[in-house]
Chain A
Amino acid sequence: MTYDGKLRVWRGDETGGELRDYTVQVNEGEVVLDVIHRLQATQAGDLAVRWNCKAGKCGSCSAEINGKPRLMCLTRMGTFAEDEVVTITPMRTFPVIRDLVTDVSYNYEKAAALPGFEPRPRDADGQHRMQQIDVERSQEFRKCIECFLCQDVCHVVRDHEDNKKVYAGPRFLMRLAELDMHPLDTFDRRKVAQDNMGLGMCNITKCCSEVCPEGIHITDNALIPMKERVVDRKYDPLTWLGAKIGRRPHP
């Protein structure tokens, strides 16, 4: 039931680092985060790692395990052979702070730049009325735990640092779709999505959907419908005419 697991963990900071090998006890049913914690408690007290809930609900312990973006708390050691070396590295798309901890401020900057929720007024009796079927579309996207694995895997920014300036990444493009589909929201974000958030740069390879620990259909249910809505607006003849005669903003 218990065995000596072989871990290879990236240790270092923004100035550089290396993969280091460790042998750590592994017990039945454990996940990668358990073993990382044991490593920290017994051999590497200063090993930097983010975590909170250890139950797949907070999205803190994102890393790359054998090269795949994953949550450490939801990756069972049982999915690897006992003699297999499990390699754990920080998310590649973000600058390293130390060891497995990266600087994810890119995501917080994009969140802050996004036009927020603008609801319609409440009904006369002080209530908002919405049907379940109408809230479910946005509810799917609100399952997002902001682990940023979709941002990490997205090839638009993964190896193209410059694109970060103009591209919000799947998580925040999905947030735009969420607001767009929100039954109470009144603000049209289609132009922002295209011009400021880089929606057009997404070429729907679905990598984001594949790594999402919540199983959200980011590409199919959020990004593609949002692209369609933007196209509708951009090529809508009335919008075009309105822009020509100065009645509407340019598409």
Chain B
Amino acid sequence: MTERHFYDVVVIGAGGAGLRAAIEAHESGARTAVVCKSLLGKAHTVMAEGGIAASMGNVYPEDNWKVHFRDTMRGGKMLNHWRMAQLHAQEAPDRVRELEDWGALFDRTPAGLISQRDFGGHRFARLAHVGDRTGLELIRTLQQRVVQLGIDVFMECTVTKLLTDDTGITGAFGYRRQDGEFLSWQAPSVVLATGGIGKSYVVTSNSWEYTGDGHSLALQAGATLVNMEFVQFHPTGMVWPISVKGILITESVRGEGGVLKNSDGKRFMFDYIPPYFASETADTEEEADRWYDDHTNNRRPPELLPRDEVARAINSEVKAGRGSPHGGVFLDIASRRSAADIMKRLPSMYHQFKELAEVDITKEPMEVGPTCHYVMGGVEVDPDTAAARIRGLYAAGEVAGGMHGSNRLGGNSLSDLLVFGRRAGGSAAEYAKGKSGGGRLSDEVLAEAEEHALAPFSRRGGENPYTVHRDLQETMNELVGIIRTAPEVQQALDKIEALKVRATALSVEGERPYNPGWHLSLDLPNMLRVSECIARAALEREESRGGHTRDDFPTPTAEWGGLNLICSEQDGSIALTRQALPQMPDDLAELFEEKKQ
């Protein structure tokens, strides 16, 4: 029998967005629960290293939200939802400051204010940070706040189904890993804060949790996804040893002065400055090096172009035979900064390379290559309320789409979590007022959800979920990766169809308590559904923009620049529609004209 719980707001996911949403919902008076797949404090947010982008102006007083807004839109190649980018830029400084009220300890400026560091695509140094472990600081601060407020947390529970009736959301259903028993949370409001989809790729910086659950749950409940073709490959993942391939190396290495070199020892990024960013990018090493101390009179080094540009450049260098021994390029901070500075500013990176690769980054360059890092696409939401297209459903953080357009700037993720986490939690609490989540959830609905979840146990002799998962990862990596072509994406879609069939015939060994094989068999349909959305949208969008590069359509087009691609699920299959981009109001549009010159 399913264990029953009753709340006003149920938040799925306990990363930055989920915890911030829960705090806001709780403080708005809603009975709030957080449901998360891992233990509290382990969510993928802990992996974020560089910082939280917010135009606080502590280092460059000339910084303000308009500059941040402009950087964000240009970084996303203007496909961002303008209103989300605006709210994000306007509210991020307050969201950072309130973390201090909850105990966060950021690095300081000499004046005692929150220090801010440089990052790719940001005109001014604006990332509030703690060494290179900012994500840990963010999650711990929010976690401790949640505990202090006494918010209920259901740890190690996975939601497998959103419950709906004709009024909208009525709750969520899932299982507890520890004993394999089922639970339902009846609630009029559900906030999705489930993060991303990286586990559909072999080479990824993402953890096992990133199986696209929220994207998939939303689709099945009748909501829509926007621009799923845009997947960010972070330019600098580890490439060696093979077992750590994909693990992230923070962009702060470049923000702190690190440069990319090919096997000839050349700083190759100067060869890859696109016209779009030429006016704001240094074209000589001398100017680039002067910039670290003087942003006003010098332009940014090309190593700090937006991530999509740098990832493509690395990919090209390796393809041209100028790569490092293990198929990456060199990221060199050792020859550029003192060992003491490196240890002080990049302690986790030092530790990570020492422990995992036996490389001392104060003495040797790192070998790096692109790794699947972030999905810009996600649940289509109303910018102000974070509401999805089904009543009672909200989404914030990576699972939501629109904010980052076709490419996210580094540092904009942590601020996104806070800004839209808070908005989602507040709206969810407001919507829940006076509602109960419909009538009592029927026993039949719960029994059906249980039966569905238990199916892999009843099948015998079927395939092992790990094999199907591996095949999906290789398919996505090879055929819908950083550079795409129509025949390859079509081939991926054919393979996904075959994998879907295999996934319906899986069987798992063992019993229900803490059985990872069973858990994976339930995550797989989510990964398959989301992978299909990515591939379908990637095939449809016949241009290259941000995190979507088509070898057969190598440039952006004006027509596609005005179009979003929307995925929905109808009768169990994915439907794709084109939708006009929301029109930016004139006062914001002027920000882009002025600076063109």
Q: Which residues of A come within 8 Å of B, CB atoms?
A: 13, 27-31, 34, 40-42, 45-60, 74, 76, 97-99, 101, 103-104, 108, 111-112, 116-117, 119, 122, 126-132, 135, 138-139, 142-146, 179, 182, 184-185, 215
CB-CB under 8 A for A98 and B514, given A30-B243, A52-B38, A56-B351: yes
Sorted from nearest, which 10 A-B pairs have the closest CB atoms? A29-B241, A46-B510, A45-B517, A129-B112, A116-B148, A41-B466, A117-B103, A48-B514, A98-B514, A52-B207
Q: Are B517 and A57 in contact, with the CB atoms below 8 A?
A: no
**Smallest Cβ distance from B131 to chain A, in angstroms?**
8
**Smallest Cβ distance from B41 to chain A, in angstroms?**
5
**Smallest Cβ distance from B396 to chain A, in angstroms?**
20
Beyond A28-B242, A56-B355, A138-B105, 11 extra complex contacts between A and B, CB < 8 Å = A29-B242, A31-B244, A41-B466, A45-B465, A46-B510, A48-B515, A55-B47, A55-B244, A119-B101, A122-B101, A135-B107
CA distance A57 to B513 in the complex (A): 26
Convert B203-246 into 0s and 1s, putting 1 for each residue whose CB lies closer than 8 angstroms to a CB of A: 00001110000000000000000000000000000001111100
A101 surroundings in chain B (CB, below 8 A):
514
CA distance A76 to B352 in the complex (A): 12
Q: Is B183's CB within 8 Å of the partner chain A?
A: no
**Smallest Cβ distance from A63 to chain B, in angstroms?**
14
Show 26 residue pairs from A and B whose CB-CB distance is below 8 angstroms, ordered by the A residue. A29-B242, A29-B243, A31-B243, A34-B243, A41-B467, A45-B465, A45-B509, A45-B517, A46-B516, A49-B516, A50-B39, A51-B208, A52-B38, A52-B44, A55-B47, A60-B39, A101-B514, A112-B150, A116-B148, A119-B103, A129-B111, A131-B112, A135-B108, A144-B140, A145-B136, A184-B100
Q: Is B279's CB within 8 Å of the partner chain A?
A: no
Q: Are A40 and B517 in contact, with the CB atoms below 8 A?
A: yes
Q: Are B144 and A117 in contact, with the CB atoms below 8 A?
A: yes
For residue A52, which residue of chain B has the nearest CB? Answer: B207
B80-125, CB < 8 A from A? 97, 100-103, 105-108, 111-113, 115
Interface size on B, residues (CB 8 A): 66
Question: B155, B240, B247: which has the most chain A beta carbons within 10 Å?
Answer: B247
Q: Are B147 and A53 in contact, with the CB atoms below 8 A?
A: no
**Smallest Cβ distance from B203 to chain A, in angstroms?**
13
Q: Are B105 and A182 in contact, with the CB atoms below 8 A?
A: yes
Q: Are A53 and B46 in contact, with the CB atoms below 8 A?
A: yes
CA distance A97 to B155 in the complex (A): 14
B126-150, CB < 8 A from A? 130-131, 133, 136-137, 140, 144-145, 147-148, 150
Q: Are B46 and A58 in contact, with the CB atoms below 8 A?
A: yes
CB-CB under 8 A for A139 and B46, given A13-B513, A47-B516: no
Q: Is B379's CB within 8 Å of the partner chain A?
A: no
Q: Is B427's CB within 8 Å of the partner chain A?
A: no
CA distance A53 to B209 in the complex (A): 9
Q: Are A40 and B466 in contact, with the CB atoms below 8 A?
A: yes
Q: Are A57 and B516 in contact, with the CB atoms below 8 A?
A: no
